[in-house]
Amino acid sequence: MTHRSRLSSLWNRVDSGEIHQAPRQWQSWLSDTGSLTQKIEQAIGQQLEVRVLRDCRQNLNSDESRYFQLQTQRCRIREVLLCANGTPLVMARSVLPTLSSAGSNQAVLRLGSKPLGAVLFSKNRKRSKKKALREITRLNKRSSLWQQCQKRHAQLSSPLWARRTLYQLKGRPLLVCEIFLPALLQFSAMASLR
């Protein structure tokens, strides 16, 4: 099995060196540790629109179940598109176990069309001393995540690059997966020419 084909179906830690398998133009997006929304807005010079696709209790996919090592299969799942001028740049999927949204974490359930980064990177939020686990993957046409994106974007190219991060929200886990769509590079390139 070659290194390239192994990367096409597995999640790999960003710090494992696998980031260098990604095209150079995607590497800074995949490895960034700050708010993705803020990074995109700075790169394109405009505010993003958050289009909520789904926000409800759902079953976890098998990969997410193994990742959380949970007995329960149902979690709150929020899927959104981050758009500029109506063009989707990123598709994000947040997985929030029921225990993670209890008590003072309930604000994450009332985001509406606000980005999740508004909660995760707020100035008032106490940062965890533990480094967030961040992984990347290359999605090809066989990937269920690629297929989910393709349902919404029929002209989608392959492969796509994605990252996922396990955040701690007041000591409770929250998994965020972000799939980078080709239009992101086009918008950031156009903005840099201005």
- Asked if 180 and 29 touch (Cβ cutoff 8 Å), the reply is yes
Greater model confidence, 192 or 143: 143
The whole-number average pLDDT for the span 135-151 is 80
Phi then psi dihedrals of residue 126, to 5 deg = -75, 125
DSSP track, 74-122: EEEEEEEEEEETTEEEEEEEEEE-GGGGSGGGGGGGG-TTS-THHHHT-
The whole-number average pLDDT for the span 35-46 is 90
pTM for this model (two decimals) = 0.82
Q: How far apart are CA 83 and CA 92, in angstroms?
A: 11
Q: How far apart are CA 170 and CA 179, in angstroms?
A: 25
Q: What is the DSSP letter of 22?
A: S
Query: Which single residue is written with the structure tokens 């790169």?
Result: 43
Does residue 89 surpass a pLDDT of 90? yes
Q: Band the pLDDT of 104: cuts 50, 70, 90.
A: low
Look up the CATH number of the domain holding residue 13: 3.40.1410.10
Phi then psi dihedrals of residue 122, to 5 deg = -65, 150
The whole-number average pLDDT for the span 62-86 is 79
- pLDDT tens digits along 47-71: 999 999 888 888 877 777 777 766 6
Q: Which domain holds residue 62?
A: 3-193
Q: How many domains does the chain have?
A: 1
